[in-house]
Structure 1
Amino acid sequence: MADIQGYIILFLSWLLSTILVRAILNKTRAKPRLPPSPLALPIIGHLHLLAPIPHQALHKLSTRYGPLIHLFLGSVPCVVASTPETAKEFLKTHENSFCDRPKSAAVDFLTYGSADFSFAPYGPYWKFMKKICMTELLGGRMLDQLLPVRHEEIRQFLQFLLKKANARESIDVGSQLIRLTNNVISRMAMSQRCSDNDDEADEVRNLVHEVAELTGKFNLSDFIWFCKNLDLQGFGKRLKEVRKRFDTMTERIIKEHEEARKIKKETGEGDPVKDLLDILLDISEDDSSEMKLTRENIKAFILDIFAAGTDTSAVTMEWALAELINNPNILERAREEIDSVVGQSRLVKESDIANLPYVQAILKETLRLHPTGPIILRESSESCTINGYEIPARTRLFVNVWAINRDPNYWENPLEFQPERFLCAGENGKSQLEVRGQHFHFLPFGSGRRGCPGTTLALQMVQTGLAAMIQCFDWKVNGTVDMQEGTGITLPRAHPLICVPVARLNPFPSF
């Protein structure tokens, strides 16, 4: 008994001395000089300060604590950049240190363990997929080949609007725009038009909505260390159900493609236009490819395309139309430009957009005030020093694009919708301020290596769709349109845009 007591005393003495030594070392060890930070609460850190809309809450914090601040979201260290100067430091000067995207439980599970492109770690696989995206999947040749698909879907959309106009019925603009963009992406990716099958169309749209919701929601397990293996919010069950539904759908479509490819190979038939899935299957079957694509890689990339290409384009067009309805003088000027360039006897086309600088300016101004990616999210792979502050490795970076696009030091009357600000200093009245991340006070598509690879497709789709809505219809609403933002990863509107379309061309151009 005495021996046991002796061992206990010895153990307690060792434990106490260890704690004291660590406390002394922590006190004497030089702490990194971190950016300014608000007072943190135990366990949750600064999580309580991000409600209700994170980019707006972060903007308020930056006005108090400065352009670069440090936060703890639970146990996760973060920095927030809220001015063009600090954004440039992270995204250009120190880009090599911030090429990774942080992992989340939802994204990792839905993308088969980050087997996709958007959230894949920076490395050989990501570089390979980036090259394939820019040369094959989303390159100029592919987009040109699929031009008839985009034109046909816009004509179908206008036909639907004309039917509603003749019946004097209101529509939910956002839901119909999502149907349009979903059909375009579906045909580009898999040569299938979702709305040909109402059940499948609804399933695809529901899946895209649920993926956006699950990946955009706050998950305790991502931020509070002792919740890492717990599912306190019940996300696990929903994630499994969504991925199972998506997996079932894509597996069926892939098998159909494989059967069709086998028949064509046996009969020697050629296929003049390959969809994205065909190209991905070609790469996966090519033994000489520098990177072998797995089934999971293909499915995860298809999920990327739907999640990134459907909601974002639709939300942008919805915001643009809402701004135009509230600013009828701007809408009228855009119509005059379209009528003078295109006329009223035919529908506007993608090839017309280069000659419509005011329509282009409207889109840029929409992206400035309502960026579909209000926050750029990265993670440091190594420690670095920025603006005299030490940023440790594995620190999460938030670049507040929403705040930067409204910086009064760069934008006159930043809260007003003024497309004219993009019509100066360039040839033919065109602005030299572009959207591809070279100007750090205007970052609608991100910047650097991790910038959006689908920028060209998004611009083609959104500008042509918006121009057609301006050209062909007036839009009746009750009073003014509410411009309140909702919650979500792609900056949705708080309230749907409900309008009655009114055909303004008589006779209406043939489809």
Structure 2
Amino acid sequence: MEAEPLAPLLLTLALAVLVMLAISHLLLLGSSTTRRRRSRRPVPTPPLTNVVINDPAVLRRLLVDHADAFSSRPTPPFPEDFGGTHSINSVPYGSTWRALRGNLIAGIFHPTRLGVLAPLQRDAVKGLVAGLSSSITGWRGSEVVVVRDRLHGAVFGLVARMCLGDSVRDRDVRTLEREVGRFVFTFAADSALGRSTLARLLHWRRWRRYSGIVNRLSKLILPIIAARQQSRRGGTGIRCYVDSLVDLRVPNNDVDAATTTTTGSKRPLTDRELVRLVFEFLGANTVSVVSCVEWTLAHLAIRPEVQEKLHHEIITSGSHDLISEDRLRGLAYLRATILESLRLHPPLSVIMRNVDAHDLAACGAGAPPAAADDGGTRRVCLVVKVGEVGRNRSMWTDPEEFRPERFLAGGEAEGVGPVAGPKEIRMMPFGAGRRYCAGVEVAMLHVGYFLAALVRDFEWALPVDGHSIDLTEKHGFFMVMKTPLRARVTPRASPRGLTITT
């Protein structure tokens, strides 16, 4: 009987909580709208209806034949201070995207620039091999190693110097690695927070933590950029990505959009845009390489006969202690092994496009049941599950089997590469159409360098006899191994240091 008076009290408390949430929602909405007006950001559109298409023939028709209509991406759910719409991956298809992507290719990924990067690549590979060797102290001459952390450190260090210059301090690189890693691997699991105001209210501590990471990245990256520009006056060091971003001028869409004529005015990038582009470069170029190398090593540990065939090719294809870009491209079985790993485990779980529902229907993809109204245009989100494209049974024999031979001459996938061709899509680990990953060739090169070194100098085996490796996938911004690879690593007999030359 004494519990009955509690019911009205609990009801009152519940109503009070709901009222507070509603008021907080309105306050947050009003303050964020004010900030958007100050920064000239567009008001977010309603959530788009997802349309999932994995048929390779339909995808080729959409992404290749009708690339103009299927080249814009939805705005990512990043914290507002990150300026997510000003990255190459998320900026709408148009003049700004062309300026940013063209700068990336010309400034860092152009083939004529790759030779300049050889010293950075050599140091990263040598450091990884030396660190792994020093960790193997067991009396058997082998050790069970979790390779991801060491591999991530080596790749991130290389990418950071490509981005920020070869004189960036090791201390700053380690701090950047920690903060970028925290965001990429934790925010991916909570990306719904960016799309839902109610979720941000209910989990405000996590949202504040992500915003804190963004603020720390800004406070770390901007002084590094400033110091880099100071050192540029001396004319020393390798030209890096940040140098090109500081020199870049992009279309001033805010000014041009307010006029009825095209003024052609351009502006430098803002600090917020610089931080976002640096974050994008560091995250994407690190995790894609680390993920591919880790997945490949896992399969090589499971399939020792494939590993030995690859090892034999590496040590018999030329000089025992030198590997050049040209020689790397000549290692057919190494390339086939990497491609097979990418087919099964593409770095990107999904590819999304913000498209007109009428264009989707006109291209034979069917009409969605509902779509968001954006100024009279029915918009939908085209979702492509990249992994399912590479495992399509109509395109591949035994698609679940790891078999690099399929990519060799005479195999079913002879001539298939990491980027989908104009005539056929059989796999698309780095995307397809005009918005395929601009860094695909550099990524393939880096995976080749690290993988060749690790297979040449070490033997990779199951951690314990009779125990398997967990190949469960974890989907987020990138598709990685849910359980970091643990493998028994044994130095090869009479190992030679692997040297990279131009």
**What interval of TM-score do these two structures reach, taking the shorter chain for normalisation?**
0.7 to 0.9
Where does 1:171-320 land on structure 2 (aligned, <5 Å)? 171-192=145-166, 196-197=170-171, 200-213=172-185, 215-220=187-192, 227=197, 231-234=201-204, 235-262=206-233, 264=234, 270-271=235-236, 273-283=238-248, 291-320=267-296
How high is the sequence identity, in percent, across the aligned residues? 23
Q: Residues of 1 paired with 2:342 and 2:318: CA distance?
A: 25
Secondary structure, counterpart of 2:469 in structure 1: coil
Checking the alignment, whether the CA contact within 8 Å between 1:183 and 1:194 is kept in structure 2 is no
Amino acid in the other structure paired with 1:494: K
1:24 corresponds to: none
Checking the alignment, whether the CA contact within 8 Å between 2:155 and 2:289 is kept in structure 1 is yes
Secondary structure, counterpart of 1:373 in structure 2: coil
1:104 corresponds to: 76
Checking the alignment, whether the CA contact within 8 Å between 2:165 and 2:237 is kept in structure 1 is no
1:387 corresponds to: 364
Normalising by structure 1, we get a TM-score of 0.76
Checking the alignment, whether the CA contact within 8 Å between 2:458 and 2:489 is kept in structure 1 is yes
Residue of structure 1 aligned with 2:459, choices 474, 497, 501: 474
Query: C-alpha offsets along residues 357-381 of structure 1, whole Å, 9 cap, x if unaligned?
Result: 0000000000001111121111115
Q: Residues of 1 paired with 2:295 and 2:333: CA distance?
A: 17
Deviation of the 1:481 alpha carbon: 1.7
Amino acid in the other structure paired with 2:388: A
Secondary structure, counterpart of 2:136 in structure 1: helix
Number of matched pairs: 424
Deviation of the 1:331 alpha carbon: 0.6
Residue of structure 2 aligned with 1:436, choices 407, 419, 434: 419
2:308 corresponds to: 332
Q: Residues of 2 paired with 1:113 and 1:432: CA distance?
A: 36
Deviation of the 1:431 alpha carbon: 2.8
Normalising by structure 2, we get a TM-score of 0.78
Q: Residues of 1 paired with 2:199 and 2:498: CA distance?
A: 59
Secondary structure, counterpart of 1:348 in structure 2: strand
Gap regions ≥5 residues in structure 1: 1-73, 265-269
Relative distance call for 1:465 and 1:220 in structure 2 (3 A) is closer
Query: C-alpha offsets along residues 62-104 of structure 1, whole Å, 9 cap, x if unaligned?
Result: xxxxxxxxxxxx9531100112012113212332222111113
Gap regions ≥5 residues in structure 2: 1-45, 253-263, 372-377
Q: Residues of 1 paired with 2:294 and 2:193: CA distance?
A: 34
Deviation of the 1:113 alpha carbon: 4.5
Which shows bigger deviation, 430-439 or 463-472? 430-439
Query: C-alpha offsets along residues 361-415 of structure 1, whole Å, 9 cap, x if unaligned?
Result: 0000000011111211111156312326235532011111111100111100110
Deviation of the 1:229 alpha carbon: 9.1
Q: Residues of 2 paired with 1:323 and 1:368: CA distance?
A: 13
Secondary structure, counterpart of 2:281 in structure 1: helix
Q: Residues of 1 paired with 2:67 and 2:344: CA distance?
A: 26
Q: Residues of 1 paired with 2:248 and 2:195: CA distance?
A: 37
Secondary structure, counterpart of 1:161 in structure 2: helix
Is 1:454 the equivalent of 2:430? no
Query: C-alpha offsets along residues 401-438 of structure 1, whole Å, 9 cap, x if unaligned?
Result: 11110011110011000000001349xx9931111121
Q: Residues of 1 paired with 2:169 and 2:274: CA distance?
A: 23
